[in-house]
Structure 1
Amino acid sequence: MTLGQIAGLIAALAVVALVALCAVPLIKFGGVLDQLRTAVKDLDDSTVPILEELKGTVTATNEEISRIGLVTSDVHTVSEHVTEVSGRANELSKVFTETVGTPMVKVAGFAHGVRKATAAGRAGKLRKSVRNSR
């Protein structure tokens, strides 16, 4: 063998050794990629049911929110009606006071005066005061 052939053989052995050394990490990297692919598949398999359940939850929540909107609008309507009834009751109270209350106070005052005068008359005070005034 010539010196060039020996050098070529050494170079070929070096390339084979280098390929063998590079093949080991590449094989391990392939295993890591397989595990990664399996993990992503498992994640996908477990995520789909969770997303379906989440979709159902969001739908139910939206329905409840729309019901709450209806309830709040009903409460607002009832509140407006209560305010209107309260205002009308206030007006009715004022009308009652003006039409019935004031005359009743006057009648009560008159009745009290008559009662007092009658009681004083029975005691003789009224007669004495009438005699003294003449």
Structure 2
Amino acid sequence: MTLGQIAGFIAAVAFAVLVWRLGSVIGKAGAVLDEASAAVRKVSDETLPLITEMTSTVAAANTQVERLDAITANLATMTNNLNALTSLTVATVGRPMLKVASVGYTIKTAMSGKTPGTPRRF
């Protein structure tokens, strides 16, 4: 065996070891990629139902907001109606009662013999 053959044999063994190590590294990288693929698949499988449930929750919340808008509009209408009813009651009952009270006070003042604006004596 010559020196060149020994060097070639050592180079062949070194190349074989290198290929074997690269094969194991590639195998480990493949396992990592398989695990990553499984994790992505699991996340995807869990995310789609979550998004569907979230969509239905948002739709239910929008329905409740629409109902709340309707209730608020009805309360505004009731407030306007109550305001109009109060104004009508004051106009119908309040002013005549004020006039009756004014006439009653005038009669009371006239019967007592005092004139309005004179100081009261003790």
Shorter-chain TM band:
0.7 to 0.9
TM-score with structure 1 setting the length:
0.69
Aligned residue in 1 for 2:64 = 64
Aligned residue in 2 for 1:129 = none
TM-score with structure 2 setting the length:
0.75
In the TM superposition, what are the counterparts of 1:51-130 in structure 2 within 5 Å? 51-92=51-92, 93-98=94-99, 100-107=100-107, 109=108
Alpha-carbon distance, 1:17 to partner: 0.6
Alpha-carbon distance, 1:58 to partner: 0.6
CA distance in 1, matches of 2:41, 2:106: 94
What are structure 1's unaligned runs of at least 5 residues? 114-134
User: What does the per-residue CA deviation read over 1:69-103, in whole Å, with 9 as the maximum and x for residues that have no partner?
Assistant: 111111111111212222222333023312x3323
May I ask how many residue pairs the two structures share in their alignment? 111
Letter in 2 for 1:94: R
CA distance in 1, matches of 2:23, 2:17: 10
Name the % identity: 30
Alpha-carbon distance, 1:2 to partner: 4.3
User: What does the per-residue CA deviation read over 1:79-134, in whole Å, with 9 as the maximum and x for residues that have no partner?
Assistant: 11212222222333023312x33233445x28x76xxxxxxxxxxxxxxxxxxxxx
CA distance in 2, matches of 1:30, 1:95: 97
Matched, 1:31 2:24: no
Letter in 2 for 1:41: R
Alpha-carbon distance, 1:61 to partner: 0.5
Q: Which moved more, 1:1-10 or 1:39-48?
A: 1-10
CA distance in 1, matches of 2:26, 2:96: 99
CA distance in 2, matches of 1:66, 1:29: 54
What are structure 2's unaligned runs of at least 5 residues? 113-122
Matched, 1:45 2:81: no
* Structure number with larger C-alpha Rg: 1
Alpha-carbon distance, 1:7 to partner: 2.5
Q: CA RMSD in A?
A: 2.3
Q: Could you say what secondary structure the match of 2:74 adopts?
A: helix
